[in-house]
Amino acid sequence: MHLNGSPLKTGWLGFIITEYSENALALALALALALETNQSIFKIAIAKRISRALIVSFFNRGIFGMARLQFTEEETAARIDALLRADDYGLSHWSSYNGEQVTFTYRFETSKAADFPWTNVGNTTGFTEAEKSAIRSALQEYNKHININFVEDNSSQDAVLSFYKADDLYTDLSVTGGGRGRGSYSGDDWDGAAVFNANRDLSSQSEFDLVLHEIGHTLGLKHPGDYDRGGNNPAGPFLPADEDNERWTVMSYNPDPSTDIEPDRLKFYDIMALQQFWGTNNGNQDSAQNVMRFYNTKTETHFYTANADERDQVLAYLEDYIFEGNMFDTNATAESGIAVYRFLNQSTGTHFYTAAEAERDSVLENLPSYLFEGVAYHAYETADAGETALFRFYNTQNGTHFYTASEAERDYVINTLGHLNYEGVAYYVDMA
């Protein structure tokens, strides 16, 4: 297809305009964007005539959860408001946030600091090294999604976030709990603290959701329901009862009804609220090549890109792609690593990635619907310097592949999603 002598490039996301086919302005914008970019941007196919008006589609999953919700803009805002303490903060985002990444120091406390925020907490204790490692991992999960760089500094008396363990969380109440957390600001200064019950082993995988939950409080999230143990929960809005569970947010007290596995990562509503308040980690902050992940709500598959311009185009124009953050990095180059090749499956609008030249050649020879898009990024063939394995799965339901560098996510898929066949290690990368 040519317009004014310019080829309309295909590939990239296999973007299908369905909801805009009655909107000439939106269609013209997409066409103009496709012509102006030097990337392989849009493959446009007008599949059906649907006008969604103000309807926005959201899914809660990386690969987790299958239920689809359709929200108006007002309903979307209500989900965010259900997790942000508007009475305390009253802001659409932190007053000092200007689009740039901020650095928050944190420290592990062994005694109560002068600014310890609670008067009814018992004696403090220390953390084991394994527990510290769990908290660091949880902070990395937050960093994937929001524009905060967390730096450990146990020598500083002015750390932004402070972590404690104590033998009694409510000395004046006949209640117990796993932890407490809070965050607040004065002017440009943010201050957050979390205290965990000394009888909890935070290094246990079963307690990781507790760590995520309390860190959420230190960064401004509240409970989405009216059930605060200490009686201090702010007023609503709260989530609808059927959404007030860990399928949608780690801040809920109610388990995910679809699984008996505790969450090991932030959920969709958490990410929406946190990014509203702190901004999105778009992967611009380090020297490594960032590989970012989107969830395509139309195809129920994932899209990966190491191209910042491509990422920005998706964020700006493709509302059906949910940004899941910087999933992994790679410091590999053409000289030090191996090429990872990308194909667009023109039949499904999904992408396939391989670092095996034999597999690349087989696809080129035998699968004419796969459009070769070249080298996506470089990775490692072996883990000589402690690199991280990237695991590959084959989806038997739709013929696509899923990739993850998270061992926890890999194990969840293997144990829970039977239609995803584990194919082993694809290649090696660096952790984000």
Tens digits of residue pLDDT in 146-155? 889 899 999 8
Mean pLDDT within 275-286: 69
- Cα 292 → chain centroid: 10
Q: What pLDDT band is residue 90 in, cutting at 50, 70 and 90?
A: very low
Question: Domains of the chain (ranges plus CATH)?
Answer: 97-276 (3.40.390.10), 282-431 (no CATH)
pLDDT mean over 309-335: 84
Which is more confident, 295 or 280? 295
Segment 173-194 shows an average pLDDT of: 81
Q: What is the pLDDT of residue 284?
A: 52
Given this model, what pLDDT does residue 140 score?
Answer: 87
Kind and range of the H or E run holding 129: helix 129-145
pTM of the complete model:
0.58
pLDDT of residue 381: 93
* pLDDT the model gives residue 262: 86
* DSSP-based helix, strand, coil % in the chain, nearest 5: 20, 30, 50
Model confidence at 50: pLDDT above 80: no
Residues 6+ apart with CB under 8 A from 158: 105
Question: What are 183-188's contacts with CB under 8 Å, separation 24+?
Answer: 183/217, 183/218, 183/219, 183/220, 184/88, 185/89, 185/94, 185/95, 187/95, 188/95, 188/96
Is residue 161 predicted with pLDDT exceeding 90?
A: yes
Band of residue 187 on the pLDDT scale cut at 50, 70, 90: low
Residue 126's pLDDT is: 92
